[in-house]
Amino acid sequence: MRDVFSTSFPDMAATSLLDSIPHGIAVIDRDLKIVAINEFLEALTGVVRADVTGVYVDFVLRSNIARRGRTFREVLSSGEPLVLDGDIVSRDRRKLPMQFTISPLRNRAEEVVGLVIVLDDLSAMVASVGLGADADVTDSIIGQSPKMREVFDLIPLMAHTEASVLITGETGTGKDKVAEAIHKSSSRAGKPFIKINCGALPESLLESELFGYVKGAFTGAVKDKPGMFRLAQGGTLFLTEIGDMPLPLQVKLLSVLDDREFFPLGGEKKIKVDVRIIAATHRPLKQRVAAGEFREDLYYRLNVLHLHLPPLRERETDTRFLLNHFLRFFAERTGSSAKNFNDEALRRLMAYPFPGNIRELRNIVEYCVNICQNREIDIEHLPKYLFSSPVPVDANLPTEVEPLALVQVVPGPQPIQETGKDWLALEKELIISALTQTRGNRSKAADILGWGRTTLWRKLKTHGLVTPPVPSNTSEET
C-alpha cells in the first residue's frame, strides 16, 4: 500500500520544481520505489516518469552503487545524507560517471518518508575534453594527420559558441564522436546530449520523437511524451543524417531554430526550449538544396559553423596509426596474442581504400584479432572481401614491402585508376557482387563488405538497388 507521501507528491507541483533543476533527480519512498523523477533523469535513462512510478529505483537508475538496495536503506535508517561516486548505464548504452547525493526526505513530523537522489554527471570532468584521454579509447577521436589536427583545433572553438554546427563527412568518419566532443567541451557539458537519427524514422514518428505529443493527440497517444527537444533542454540536440529529414519537418525545425519554441503534436501550449543544435550528414547538402530536396533557409541556418571530416584515404599517415592503435586495443581486450601485422597483410590493408572509413578499419582489425592465433597477423587472417576489392597502386605504400609481390600473390580486379570508374560505381559493383555471392542474403553480404546491415541498406537505397516489398511470409534475411 502506497502512503500519503507517495500518492500526493506528484500532485504538489513538485515535479515542476524537479524539472527546473539541471541534474537527474529521483524521489523514492521507503520501499525504494520511484515516486517521481525529473525530465533530466528521463533524458539520461530513456524512461518516462509515468511508466516507472512504483518501480524499484535501481531498475531505473542502473547504477553500480545500490548494493541490492543496502545503500539506500542505510540512508533511510541513519537519516544522514550520503554522497557517493559511481556510474550509470544511460539510455544510449553509455557508462556515465556520476556523483550520487542521497538525502532523506522528512514530513512535518520529522519522520523520514523517503529519499531524494540527485545525480551529477561527472563525464565532462572525467573526459578531459573528449580528445584521446577517455578510458575507452574507442570513444575517442584519434588521428595524427594534418587534416585531423585542423579538426582538433576547431573543436574547442566550436565548443565555445552557441551557434549551430554542421558536420559533414563520409560514413564512418566519426561525425558522432566529434559532435559529442563539441558538446563535452562546451558550457553545456553537464546537460543532456541527445542524438536522433533523422534518416531512420518515418516522418510522423520523427516528428513525435523530436517535438513530443500530448495525451490524445492521435490514436495510441495515451500519455504525454516530452520529445527530444524538451529532453535536451539546456543541452545539445544532435540531428544525425539531417540530409534525410523530410521536407515538411524541415520547416518545423527551422521555425524552432528561429523562435526557440514550438507546439508539441496536439498541444495548445507553446514549449520554450534552450537547445544547441549540431547536425550531421554524409550527403552533399548543397546539391540537395539545388535539387529542391533540402530547404535552402534551413541549410544556411544550420551551416553557421561547418566542420568537414576528411575520409580516411585523405588522412595520409592515419591509416597505419589507426591500424596499430586498434590492434593494441582489441588484442588487450580479447587477450589475443596478435602483436603486429606482417608486411604482406599491412601492404594489403594500406592499399585498401576503406570506403567505410574508420568504422570499417576498426571492424577489420577486430576481425583479424579474433581470427589470428599467432603473434603476427598474416594475409590469411584478413577478411576475404578485401581480396575481391580493387587494389589501387599507391606510391605511399610502406617501403619495407615489395610493391609488386602482392599484386602477383593476390588475385583481384584491376586497380581503381585503370577502371575509369568513380568510387560510387565501384561500390555499386561490390554490393552487387556480394549480394550475388550470398544469393541475396543482406546480412551475409554486409559481413562480406564489412558493413552493418543498416549501412548496407542505406547504400542499397543510394544506388537504387532496393527491391520491391516481398510477401510477408518471406524471410527477413533475404
Strand, helix or coil at 419? helix
Contacts with 459 (C-beta within 8 Å, 6 or more apart), sequence order: 427, 431, 451
Segment lying near another protein (by CB under 8 A), choices 54-62, 157-165, 268-276, 349-357: 54-62
Determine, following the binding rule CB under 8 A, whether residue 332 of this chain makes contact with another protein. no
Mark residues 272-311: x for contact with another protein by CB under 8 A, - for none.
----------------------------------------
How far apart are CB 237 and another protein at their closest, in Å? 20
Segment lying near another protein (by CB under 8 A), choices 47-55, 98-106, 165-173, 300-308: 47-55
| Vertex 447: Cα angle to 442 and 453 (nearest 5) | 50
Q: Which CB, 335 or 411, lies closer to another protein?
A: 335
Determine, following the binding rule CB under 8 A, whether residue 218 of this chain makes contact with another protein. no
Using a 10 angstrom Cβ sphere, with 0-12 exposed, 13-18 middle and 19 or more buried, the burial of residue 341 is: buried
Determine, following the binding rule CB under 8 A, whether residue 439 of this chain makes contact with another protein. no
Alpha-helical segments (H) within 23-165:
39-45, 49-52, 57-61, 70-78, 123-126, 146-159
Q: Which CB, 57 or 302, lies closer to another protein?
A: 57
CA dist., res. 22 & res. 306, Å (int): 29
Strand, helix or coil at 82? strand
Q: Which of 3, 5, 53, 321 binds another protein (CB under 8 A)?
A: 53
**Taking Cα atoms as reference points, which of 103, 117, 133 lies closest to residue 41?**
117
Q: Which of 62, 306, 428, 463 binds another protein (CB under 8 A)?
A: 62
Determine, following the binding rule CB under 8 A, whether residue 88 of this chain makes contact with another protein. yes
Determine, following the binding rule CB under 8 A, whether residue 444 of this chain makes contact with another protein. no
Determine, following the binding rule CB under 8 A, whether residue 52 of this chain makes contact with another protein. yes
Determine, following the binding rule CB under 8 A, whether residue 76 of this chain makes contact with another protein. no
As a whole number of Å, the CA-based R_g of the chain is 26
Strand, helix or coil at 281? strand
Residue 28: its H or E element: strand 24-29
Q: Which CB, 95 or 320, lies closer to another protein?
A: 95
Determine, following the binding rule CB under 8 A, whether residue 138 of this chain makes contact with another protein. yes
Tracing cell 541513519 back to the chain, one arrives at: 78
Q: Are 337 and 373 in contact (CB under 8 A)?
A: yes
Determine, following the binding rule CB under 8 A, whether residue 55 of this chain makes contact with another protein. yes
> By CB under 8 A, what part of segment 91-120 binds another protein?
91-95
What are the residues binding another protein (CB under 8 A)?
Answer: 46-47, 51-56, 58-64, 66, 68, 88-95, 136, 138, 363, 366
